[in-house]
Structure 1
């Protein structure tokens, strides 16, 4: 019997805690390595984005795609470039893909995340502005025929937005007033619903109140609670592709 199997038999919960702590430690080492060894800030940012994307792809169900991209609506309006977009991979195609560049229809988006080296007021505001650029886009929703009739157009759910980083700038981390007050100051389309600092804690407001994890296990806390929230959103709305086709100048 190997060491991991023995640990899981003795105390399964402890085994899971330690296994996910190791996963978090690996991510922290990857982020630290990029900061110490990559001399170009833009390249370092791209590498760190990919580290977070890889972790999310590992744990999110296959129905969700995780990628960077620009969100677009049926009017041709676009968001800012988004570091991480979690979107529907089953019913909604991306548009005009060119290598790593893609437009993601607004209707397909579940969540947007900004990747930053540290969690601070300027970066909170920056992530909030990115979220705003997505949430103000128009989303369509049409009825769906089925064997027994027609499902009504799905009500649009609020798009999740957050920030992930390596560390926190504030001395008290995420449990101090500077963080909580700056987070609370972000309202409406600028709201950030969740976040993670790999060297500190994770947070979310999925249950209405601000919930903050312990430092150990913050990665698992972030991932599992995000999955739970994604499940609660259900499926994305059915896209009105005739609205997208209207730019051709025809009446549909």
Structure 2
């Protein structure tokens, strides 16, 4: 088996494991919050297959201006330049400068679920971000425009028929630019990715989670690396 085949098999194994866990969680509990929490844990475990430059948690996104997002099921954030995460009473607060992507986890994709992630995406993308320059060979390199923060919804099933329908695609992109949903993955049906140029990539079927993992990695890679947080913009609040 070649290295490429081995990698594909490993990702496929992770995808199968996620699909089975999501089904088991739904069938083994009649308590909505318990099922939701189990599903969030399942998706977090799957996302930990991402390269180590990324980390995954749940909680809130915050800014040095004191802004706070709605609670998010899954936050993909930096673990290299901006690994700072605040925790209090078991709740995580991730500086917006560190964020690559945010996701809501649902049992089924619905209009309400899409509206929720749109609201969260707008809140996070509208936050002011402050970075420090990176010093390279004794020269300061000023960080350019902040990276684009991806948003998406993850679910076991879909209320749309077919699951990746034109109606779903329209719902993902309608509204303000800061509300746009980039990724939708339905574990038992397929995924839809709509990039910033409006190009749509869809794959359907029951064994597409592995390919979705590669699509997510490609989209994250496309957006580049976040810069280092301006730490002093957060520590200044200690003197307020």
Is the TM value for this pair above 0.5? Answer: yes
2:192 is the alignment partner of 1:212 = no
Work out whether residues 154 and 238 of structure 1, in 8 Å CA contact, stay in contact via their aligned partners in 2. no
User: Residue 65 of structure 1: SS of its match in structure 2?
Assistant: strand
Q: Which runs of 5+ in 1 are unaligned?
A: 1-7
2-structure distance, mates of 1:67, 1:34 = 20
SS of corresponding position for 1:192: coil
Q: 1:41 aligns with which of 29, 32, 51?
A: 32
Structure 2 gap ranges (5+): none
CA distance in 2: counterparts of 1:50 and 1:96, whole angstroms? 20
| Structure 1 position 56 matched with structure 2 position 47 | yes
Superposed CA offset, 1:41-63 (max 9, x none): 11211110010010110x21111
Instruction: Using the TM superposition, give the Cα deviation of residue 177 of structure 1 relative to its aligned residue in structure 2, in angstroms.
Output: 2.6
Contact 2:105-2:155 within 8 A present in 1 as well = yes
Moved more, 214-223 or 160-169: 214-223
1:4 aligned partner: none
CA contact (8 A) 1:63 1:90 kept: yes
**Which of these residues, 58, 76, 87, is aligned with residue 68 of structure 1?**
58
After TM superposition, the score normalised by the length of structure 2 is 0.89
- Give the structure with the larger helix fraction: 1
Q: Deviations over 1:158-216 (max 9, x none)?
A: 10000100011122110x23212222314311111112000111111237311111314
Q: How far off is 1:140 after superposition?
A: 0.7
- Alignment check: 8 A CA contact 2:82 2:227 kept: no
Work out the CA distance in 1 between the residues paired with 2:41 and 2:60. Answer: 16
Asked if the contact 1:141–1:155 (Cα under 8 Å) also holds between the matched residues in 2, the reply is: no
Provide the residue aligned with 1:3 in structure 2.
none
RMSD: 2.3
Matched, 1:134 2:143: no
**Residues 76-225 of structure 1 aligned to structure 2 (within 5 Å):** 76-98=66-88, 100-174=90-164, 176-206=165-195, 208=197, 209-225=199-215
Whether 2:18 is the aligned partner of 1:27: answer: yes
